[in-house]
Structure 1
Amino acid sequence: MHVGILGPVEAHSPDGKLAVGGPRPRTLLAMLALRVGDVVPLDRLVDELYGSEPPADAANALQGQVSRLRRALGDASLIEFHSAGYRLALAADQVDAHRFASLAADGQQALEQGDPQAAESLLSEALQLWRGPALADVDAADHATRLEQQRSSAVSALIAARIRLGRADVQEIQGLVRQNPLDERLRGYLMQALNQQGRQAEALQAFEDARSLLADELGADPSPELRAVHVQILRGQTQRELPAQLTSFVGRQEELQRIATLTSRLVTLTGPGGAGKTRLALQSATPSAIFVDLAPAKDVAAATLHALGLKETVLEPEDRLTLALRERNTVLILDNCEHLIVQAAQLAQHLLSTCPRLRILATSREALGITGETLCPVPPLNPEQSVALFVDRARLVNPAFVRDQYTVDICRELDGLPLAIELAAARTRTLTTQEIADRLNDRFRLLTKGNRAAAPRHQTLRAVVEWSWDLLSEDERDLAASLATFSGGATLEAVEQVGGHDIEVLEALVDKSLVEANDGRYRMLETIREFCSQHKRVDAEHTAYFHALARRADPELRQRNQVRWFARLTAEHANLMQAVEWATSHDPELALRLVSDLSWYWYLKGSRTEVEGVARRLLAVVPEQSTEEYAILLALAAPERVRNKWHELPGPIKQPFVLIAWAMLDGPPDPTAPRTRLQDEMERSEDPWIQGLIGFSKSYLSWVSTGDRAAAIEQSRTALHQFQSLGERWGAAQVLDVLANLTEDPHEALALTDEALRAVTELGAAEEMAEFRGRRADRLLDLDQDEAEREYHQALEMATQAGLAATRALANAGLAKIAQRRGDPARAEQLLREAQRELGFGWMQESAKQYVEDALTELARTREA
């Protein structure tokens, strides 16, 4: 069912046009259609049908009209009765007036957003719904006037859209002007349409006609807007419209809001090539903005004259532009300034100083660098926006496209760079997202099929980066290639030492959007880094720098500044791993030393699983030797082979990881076994950290062997003081855990565990954080079972992330104990079997395995009882 009121009142069913009836049923239908979906009050309907002389029994009379209309429509349910009135039960788009209003609003919005093509389409469709004067055959003058005003507004907007497209109909506008001779907006449209057709004299005469009529009829002068059109025609300006966009705009709400709130007269959008600076500038601009594409230009002033439709004269181009723009309140968009940066800066300064109402929005890979400039960086899209853009563009070539995890991976790998994402999305026509993701290691070959009509530098990913590369000086290219060697960005010190250039060259790369500077680190987008690294590599210098950093940092990790140094190494983690990988392939002996120097950091960070692969590759290429470095390598790559190697080490110990690995893999020493040279060397060590470790070990062993709790506590407190005087959190946490085991007060044990947990959390030691979280759960088990369960789950999650089988097994054993207490032995056994399956080699894992087996035995005994 459809109802029409934009003309005579009509109703159409699927079978054709319906005979609505006489004036009152038509009026009733029109009033209900005007408020379709809403309840129209009874008194309002009576007023509309009967005016100031309603019948004596108005309610019954209205009910009679409703009955007639229901019969005419053939479906009584279409007109619903409610206590307050009647309602037409149709969707809004089933009434032509509401459909018109929706289309017209969308068209006017498209026009405001700079899309005249879409505006023309929507507004034309809206106006085609009109069949004549609104409500032509019913007495509803107020409603008809309101609808006609909406129609007039839509007609004006349609004319504006066609003027922007350069295809306005002069005769149509002349007819409208005759109907509305005092409408200055229509007069302005007529002048613009005539001027576009080369009829400048007629356009100027149209202004004189308007001025005379306004003076005679109203005693007024033309409006500023109409006068501005007149001046534009006098100067011969035929300003180009903003380029219409062929795809939807995705994301960038934060940047749009920032641009809208800036009061500076010069705003420069900066960012790497392909970041979407041009699109953002066009999206933020009003339709009256002037767009100047400088990418193909060689002269900024000449290109700006061309964009304004101005011809060069005997005047200097800058002066000609001043005359054209001095009185205009508009925005000049200077797009792609980077290759003409000096010219763009000079023209911007000249125009801003001579045209007080002019504002300039520039896009460039570097700032213009003049007084009063406000920078608005255009960063890569965030993950959510990146995926939304990929999906939107992929569905243009593959309507059935559905996002998946590979979509997210692609967008992350492409750094959220809009152009790269759009090029990748275009590939979904022939490739799956998995195939695209697998080929991104050669992204410059993959992402080559862009818009054929786009500028050459935007047709392939390589071209957009090459455009920036070609604008660099020799020193800038050399440093960019050197910086591309770094996996995880770099500090200023690293850039200067490895790259061999001073800070001015680095700052130039930052200014030109090739390098990002954030929190004291300098990094490249992965796409830019991959391009630059093809020109030069400085891996040997890179590895030497990070080996020196590792050697300098290692002793600091066991002293007061350990948190700061641990954070520094963590920030360089990717670079350190890269250095080990390169040295393994090119200088295995250097790699062996580097592995040793990083071993304690890796242990604290919980990276042993991560480094296992490269450690095994290194083990395959270095000869066996009785050195501390080789023992560390074995502990990381083949722990089952390291046990005999401890006894070959002559000492003294240089790297404490040897002692920790020894303890984890071999467990407490057998007091009846012969002493080794390594034990003697360790006890003779003057290193205060090793002395603290020995004290901690002795306190634990003496308690196990003698049962003297008080002596063990005293020895532990001495070791704790040793570590705390060093400011060493890891060792202090280990001793606090021993003290928690020694105390007989469960609340004190919990407090000591919390203190240990705070120490390793401050340090960021992942393995210990997981381990102490499990210990905390153990000590909560008899105090608060529900909280203990939560702690076990958290320990399980943290141990999974760190790859700690023993800690996972013990957490599952704790959860099994809770399940058993709650009367669920089947669940308890399932958890214990799961723990049993994942345990492997090493004393800690053997110890955990024994604990799990004891728990299984106890569970079986309980079930039999």
Structure 2
Amino acid sequence: MRVRFFGGLSVATDDGDAVVPGRGQQSLLLRLAVDAGTTVSTRALAEDLWPLDAPDDPRAALQSLVSRLRRALPAGWVSSTPGGYRLDVDRRDVDVTHFQDLVAEARSAGDADRAREALALWTGDVWTPGEGFDWLVRDLLEDRAHAERLAAAAPAPEAPPALPAPVTSLIGRGDELDAIRSRLTTDRLVTILGPGGAGKTTLAVETARALADAIVVELAPAASGEVWTAIAGAVGRGVRVRETSGPPSTSAERVAEAVAGREVVLVLDNCEHVSREAADAALTLLGMSGGVRVLATSREPLGIPGEAFVDLGPLPPADADALFARRVRSARGSEPSVDEHDVAARIVRRLDGLPLAIELAAARSRTLTLAEIDTGLDDRFALLSRGPRLSSERHRTLRALIDWSWDTLTDDERIALRVAAVFPDGIGAPDAPQVAGAFDVDADAFDALVDRSLLTRREGRFRMLETVREYGLDRLRADGDEERYRRAAADVLTDLAARWERDVRGPGLRAALAWFDANDENLTAALRALARADDRRGGARLLRGLLWPWAIRERSDDLRRAVADVTDPAAPLDDEPTVVVEAVALFAAAFPEPGGASALSPDVYLARRTALEEAARRHPSEVTALVPPLLRLAGSVLAAGDGDAARTWHVDVTDAEFEAAPPWSQAILHTLHAGAAQNTGDTATLGSESERALAMFTEIGDPWGTGFASQLRAEWLVLEGRLDEALDVTDHSSDAIRGLSSVSDYLQQRAQAVGILLRLGRDDEARARADEIARLAEADGSVRALAQAAMTAAHVEVAAGNGEAALAAVERITLEPGFPDQFVAWRDAQRAQALLLLDRHEEAREALRTALTRAAQSRDFPIVATVLLAIAGWNAATGRRLHAEEALARAAAVRGAADVRDPFHVWIRERLAALPEDSTTEGPGIRTPLTDVDAEALAALLD
């Protein structure tokens, strides 16, 4: 099992490549991989995953993200530990950590072979999911430079300094210096690229100091038309030009005369604000003499053929921390203490590792504590508003640093920068034209910002450093445009979500979900923006696009909150999104939270339902086609009482509604019919409807629908005794839904296959699959997944006749408040079976009494049948033949057929066969229909 980040993300497992969807999960995987094999604290993960726009409850959001990542990875890869999470793989199985370890060993031993081994791992640029991981890229680039030096084993000789000594020592950037020197030996034009404050000038001057003949040309003060004057002035100071008696020459001619026949490096510093003239000058300089080389510093390329680049990103974390510590010591007399280490590291990260920003922040430690500096970074441009008095104007404040770039931007580029600032997930390159169009600019403006070191483009997304993003937001606030831009972003995201939502119901499902995952923070921010604007209709349009993706991802809590925020019963039902969202709200109101009661009266529900049904017919779609039958279903549940009356609810669809429905909607209706039939014990309808649903979803190519229908089809095949077919269908279902829904839902599908194997007598295979389910549940760590795994293990042990092991498995289950009644009933029935195997009859009876109550409350009649089977077992074990037979008959009537291959059913029949014919002493049975599920009446079977 290996994880690769060089040249792109890939996760290779024993079963093939794993797909990790979504920026959030990918970010989590990378952050855990960086410290593979060790625990990463919850706090550190939250700060690195959400450097901007942290969720309201980071711990809960992180738990959700971990759960989704566990679904994508093999069992056991991600484990929970006290205080954090760990990626349980060897560091040698993660290419970036193996690379770092090899470089560390090579540097420690001066081993060139080990350095070359490390470099062999670098098969392409390191992959990152976007902002927040620049520190890793810097670290790896630094290590690569160290490895390259060791591998070459030929350090470049230092030349005596030709410029005044620096006032402060250079911290870090050794690799970049080596890269610049190396490029200058092979290329005549080298440009040091990077954002403002990255230290481009410092490195250029440091390079010049080590050269025998170098001239630094400071272009920052130069205005348009003054580039050659600046060059000539610098050359005149650095090179003696012979006197001439002719007329005065141009600046370019005097420079050409000065450099003729010489080996000289001209440093053109700060070219970005006069980039075109600087480019023309550099090209002219190179043509003057073969001995001329040009080293330029700029926030964007000069655009000259043959131009070589050294990209200067933020400092690696270790160097950034060292720089901050050194400058704090200069400001207050002492470096950050051990207690201040975490806050110091956080300050450096929040400042993107930019040297100038770090120095400005450290200087504030003369009067502020580090904690106050950290808090002050929420308004970083106000905090970092005073720099060294003698520094250049553009380096005196953090705002001035980016203002220098802002002033060079075109109008479209300024709009694009502010647009990017309101997309916390960045902007996908395929979406850029539509996003740009929403703000009346060309998408090329985003690429231009990449060239100007204000955006990065990685893995198909445009992203920003936090400082630049804060600058963009600050510009919007100052102009009073923030809400307008956020609203426009919400509108374009609504359109994009609607376009991708169409693919969620079909073969494009996985690609569509990947888009929703990658834009999760963007979409959440858009919902917030619409809520702040009190635009419920706009919110309904956006939520309409999120409904089905979130439903598949089982984000029920997010859906519930969002529906509550955007619904408006007084809104006119005049468009499809409003109809769908309002219908979802009404449907949910009929199914209150566990322990609660619906606040709707039947009359109020009927009136609202009627209005929504009529509106759904006026606005036809795949989803509105489901509104009338689903609302009628919810109404029947709302009106139903307890006991047998609850079995009357069903999916009511008219012929006209069915014929008018699109194919996908028809497939859903067949599935709902099958589910209702399963619950009412109508095996004939379960068989026919599940067959139709599965065939239609397969033809449509919808993996989620295929998985859902397959599960129902397998249930019918089991009751028919067609177990081999049932196993094939179940395994296909599991493959279809893997990575789409929650781990607990996926494990439920896998557990169905375990039950089928037990019925087939393939106990060893069943146990092996149960063990795999346990590993997957442990890796996921959720209570529901662990509970599902424990119940599966108990099922296997009951079939094996091992009561102690079965009981131990059941006792491992920890139920949280709000666990469904049917699961509690299932657990207690399983406990009773284990206790019966141990001849602990009284304890088994008490477990069955509670199981019977919870099963009846659940209205889940297959669960009722499961409890009745266990009651039959209790009666058989205590010699009560007549009651055992009645319980078996009732179980079959409720389920629609007897599950005679169930291992516990077989156990019961064996016990009954061993009883003497005249052994029973119990009284008459219950005088109610066999399908009655009234808990009080059925309890008589336990008396």
- Normalising by the smaller structure, the TM-score range is 0.5 to 0.7
Q: Find the aligned partners of 1:405 and 1:753 in 2 and give their Cα distance.
A: 50
Q: Find the aligned partners of 2:419 and 2:365 in 1 and give their Cα distance.
A: 34
Residues 770 and 799, structure 1, Cα contact 8 Å, conserved in 2: no
Deviation, 1:456, is 3.2
- In structure 2, the residue matched to 1:530 is 470
Residues 262 and 291, structure 2, Cα contact 8 Å, conserved in 1: yes
- In structure 2, the residue matched to 1:265 is 188
Deviation, 1:600, is 0.9
Give the aligned residue type for 1:373: E
- In structure 1, the residue matched to 2:541 is 593
Residues 547 and 559, structure 2, Cα contact 8 Å, conserved in 1: no
Structure 1 residue 370 corresponds to structure 2 residue 304? yes
TM-score (norm 2): 0.56
Matches within 5 A, 1:547-562: 547-562=494-509
Structure 1 residue 356 corresponds to structure 2 residue 296? no
Deviation, 1:500, is 0.3
- In structure 1, the residue matched to 2:692 is 718
Q: Find the aligned partners of 1:281 and 1:665 in 2 and give their Cα distance.
A: 75
Matches within 5 A, 1:346-495: 346-380=280-314, 398-401=335-338, 410=347, 413-424=350-361, 438-448=375-385, 450-451=387-388, 453-490=390-427, 491-495=431-435
Give the aligned residue type for 1:564: A
Residues 615 and 636, structure 1, Cα contact 8 Å, conserved in 2: no
1:74-107 residue CA offsets vs partner (Å, 9 max, x unmatched): xxxxxxxxxxxxxxxxxxxxxxxxxxxxxxx9xx
Give the aligned residue type for 2:468: I
Deviation, 1:504, is 4.9
Residues 268 and 364, structure 1, Cα contact 8 Å, conserved in 2: yes
Determine helix, strand or coil for the equivalent of 1:837.
Answer: coil
Matches within 5 A, 1:250-289: 256=179, 260=183, 263-281=186-204, 287-288=210-211, 289=214
Deviation, 1:348, is 0.9
- In structure 1, the residue matched to 2:454 is 514
Determine helix, strand or coil for the equivalent of 1:559.
Answer: coil
Distance 1:698 1:495, change over 3 A: closer
- In structure 2, the residue matched to 1:342 is 276
- In structure 2, the residue matched to 1:630 is 582
- Which one of 754, 758, 773 corresponds to residue 791 of structure 1? 773
- In structure 1, the residue matched to 2:893 is none
Distance 1:558 1:435, change over 3 A: farther
Residues 393 and 425, structure 1, Cα contact 8 Å, conserved in 2: yes
- In structure 1, the residue matched to 2:711 is 737
Give the aligned residue type for 1:524: M
Deviation, 1:746, is 7.6
Distance 1:445 1:697, change over 3 A: same
Deviation, 1:692, is 1.0
Distance 1:719 1:675, change over 3 A: closer
Structure 1 residue 240 corresponds to structure 2 residue 163? yes
Deviation, 1:679, is 8.2
1:481-540 residue CA offsets vs partner (Å, 9 max, x unmatched): 344333333322233322202245444333322333445543333322222232333233
Deviation, 1:614, is 4.8
Distance 1:499 1:738, change over 3 A: same
- In structure 2, the residue matched to 1:3 is none
Residues 387 and 407, structure 1, Cα contact 8 Å, conserved in 2: yes
Residues 179 and 310, structure 2, Cα contact 8 Å, conserved in 1: no
Residues 240 and 290, structure 1, Cα contact 8 Å, conserved in 2: no
Residues 635 and 642, structure 1, Cα contact 8 Å, conserved in 2: no
1:684-729 residue CA offsets vs partner (Å, 9 max, x unmatched): 65121121122223334445544748x7456434322211222211
Q: Find the aligned partners of 2:387 and 2:831 in 1 and give their Cα distance.
A: 63
Distance 1:856 1:822, change over 3 A: closer
Structure 1 residue 687 corresponds to structure 2 residue 665? no
- In structure 2, the residue matched to 1:309 is 238
Matches within 5 A, 1:4-403: 164=161, 239-241=162-164, 243=166, 245-249=168-172, 256=179, 260=183, 263-281=186-204, 287-288=210-211, 289-298=214-223, 299-304=226-231, 305-306=233-234, 309-310=238-239, 314-380=248-314, 398-401=335-338
Determine helix, strand or coil for the equivalent of 1:575.
Answer: helix
- In structure 2, the residue matched to 1:759 is 736
1:650-696 residue CA offsets vs partner (Å, 9 max, x unmatched): 43485749779989999999784366877888656512112112222
- In structure 2, the residue matched to 1:572 is 519
Determine helix, strand or coil for the equivalent of 2:648.
Answer: coil
Q: Find the aligned partners of 1:423 and 1:330 in 2 and give their Cα distance.
A: 35
1:164-218 residue CA offsets vs partner (Å, 9 max, x unmatched): 4xxxxxxxxxxxxxxxxxxxxxxxxxxxxxxxxxxxxxxxxxxxxxxxxxxxxxx
- In structure 2, the residue matched to 1:831 is 812
- In structure 1, the residue matched to 2:14 is none
TM-score (norm 1): 0.60
Q: Find the aligned partners of 2:491 and 2:417 in 1 and give their Cα distance.
A: 19
Distance 1:686 1:295, change over 3 A: same
Residues 455 and 465, structure 2, Cα contact 8 Å, conserved in 1: yes
Q: Find the aligned partners of 2:803 and 2:206 in 1 and give their Cα distance.
A: 62
- In structure 1, the residue matched to 2:928 is none
Distance 1:306 1:273, change over 3 A: same
Determine helix, strand or coil for the equivalent of 1:398.
Answer: coil
1:523-558 residue CA offsets vs partner (Å, 9 max, x unmatched): 333322222232333233323222222333333321
Indicate the percent of aligned positions where both proteins have the same amino acid: 29
1:263-301 residue CA offsets vs partner (Å, 9 max, x unmatched): 332122323212343345456667015443333444444
Distance 1:329 1:712, change over 3 A: farther
- In structure 1, the residue matched to 2:930 is none
**What are the ranges of 5 or more consecutive residues in structure 2 without an aligned counterpart?**
1-109, 111-156, 756-762, 841-943
**In the comparison of the two structures, how many residue pairs are matched?**
619
Distance 1:851 1:680, change over 3 A: farther
**What are the ranges of 5 or more consecutive residues in structure 1 without an aligned counterpart?**
1-104, 106-156, 165-238
Q: Find the aligned partners of 2:749 and 2:634 in 1 and give their Cα distance.
A: 17
Residues 294 and 337, structure 1, Cα contact 8 Å, conserved in 2: yes
Deviation, 1:352, is 0.9
Residues 750 and 776, structure 1, Cα contact 8 Å, conserved in 2: no
Q: Find the aligned partners of 1:325 and 1:409 in 2 and give their Cα distance.
A: 49
Distance 1:654 1:420, change over 3 A: farther
Distance 1:576 1:329, change over 3 A: same
1:588-644 residue CA offsets vs partner (Å, 9 max, x unmatched): 222123223321122234444445555544469987999542343577899537795
Determine helix, strand or coil for the equivalent of 1:649.
Answer: helix
Residues 193 and 301, structure 2, Cα contact 8 Å, conserved in 1: yes
Structural RMSD (CA): 4.7
- In structure 1, the residue matched to 2:750 is 776
Deviation, 1:392, is 6.8
Tell which deviates more after alignment, 808-817 or 734-743.
Answer: 808-817
Residues 329 and 357, structure 1, Cα contact 8 Å, conserved in 2: yes
Flag the structure with more relative contact order, 1 or 2, with Cα contacts below 8 A and sequence separation at least 6.
Answer: 2
Residues 192 and 295, structure 2, Cα contact 8 Å, conserved in 1: yes
- In structure 1, the residue matched to 2:829 is 854
Distance 1:838 1:473, change over 3 A: same
